[in-house]
Amino acid sequence: MKSDCFRYSGYRFSSQIISYAVWAYHRFCLSFRDVEDLLAERGIIVSYETIRQWCEKFGLDYARRLKRREGRLGDHWHLDEVFIRINGQQRYLWRAVDQDGDVIDILVQPHRDQRAAERFFRKLLRGQGSEPLQIITDKLRSYSAAMRSIFSNVTHRVERYANNRVEASHQLTRQRERQMRRFKSARHAQRFLSLHDAVRNLFRVGRHLLRSSNHRLLRSRSFAVWREVTVA
């Protein structure tokens, strides 16, 4: 715990304020200036540039800790890639979600060929620890070629509409991309989306499927996990 608290040493503001600013920026479609106003309303005067530095400094570490906490996700992987334009160049955001809609991992790459698919598969295997039962993709041939070289006995589905789950998960990324006026670099996109998706998994509790009391309980647990991960 001492080493965790040491991460905030030298900062004028407490870990509670820093983690709240990072959480608000990634949880909602806000700009750094919006978060600055939210803190100012509470009597905390901090510049938007400082909030940006907090997100860069602590964001990836928060994302790694959240991933370790959630452990292995579902065994049905829905994969899809969507293009994003960065500094006038086209890049591809590869994303995998499980059968429950939780984001397993993302990877920003310059291509969508077999080599890029293999690289993403290896990243998923490192994070999940074992092969899935089934992989659902579109009809991009890179997936089939990569699966033959990476997996031994995994079912591959490419039926129409079978991959709607992961395609719908790109919508929030597009929304934030517009809000941020596009990502500044591939590293920036990877860093931001890693925490953005991890926070989304943590606080996505299916409110429309639950009684209000159960929803409040799960939401409270999510906040408790966030405080533990950020040592706030």
97: domain CATH number? 3.30.420.10
Task: For residues 49 and 25, state if they share a domain.
Answer: yes
Domain assignment of residue 166, yes or no: yes
Residue 133 has pLDDT above 70, yes or no: yes
Task: For residues 108 and 36, state if they share a domain.
Answer: no
> pLDDT tens-digit profile of 175-220?
999 999 999 999 999 999 999 999 999 998 877 778 999 989 999 9
Task: For residues 81 and 155, state if they share a domain.
Answer: yes
Task: For residues 46 and 101, state if they share a domain.
Answer: no
Domain assignment of residue 200, yes or no: no
Position with higher pLDDT, 178 vs 5: 178
Domain assignment of residue 194, yes or no: no
Task: For residues 80 and 166, state if they share a domain.
Answer: yes
Domain assignment of residue 223, yes or no: yes
Task: For residues 135 and 172, state if they share a domain.
Answer: yes
Model pLDDT, residue 228: 94
Task: For residues 89 and 163, state if they share a domain.
Answer: yes
Q: How many domains does the chain have?
A: 2
Task: For residues 129 and 55, state if they share a domain.
Answer: no
> pLDDT tens-digit profile of 91-115?
999 999 999 999 999 999 999 999 9
Residue 9 has pLDDT above 90, yes or no: no
Determine the structural domain holding residue 95 and report its residue range: 76-184
Domain assignment of residue 160, yes or no: yes
Residue 160 has pLDDT above 90, yes or no: no
| Cβ-contact 191, 56 below 8 angstroms | yes
Residue 6 has pLDDT above 80, yes or no: no
Task: For residues 137 and 175, state if they share a domain.
Answer: yes
Look at the pTM and tell me if it is higher than 0.95: no
Domain assignment of residue 63, yes or no: yes
Task: For residues 64 and 147, state if they share a domain.
Answer: no
Out of 108-112, 133-137, 161-165, least confident range: 161-165
Domain assignment of residue 176, yes or no: yes
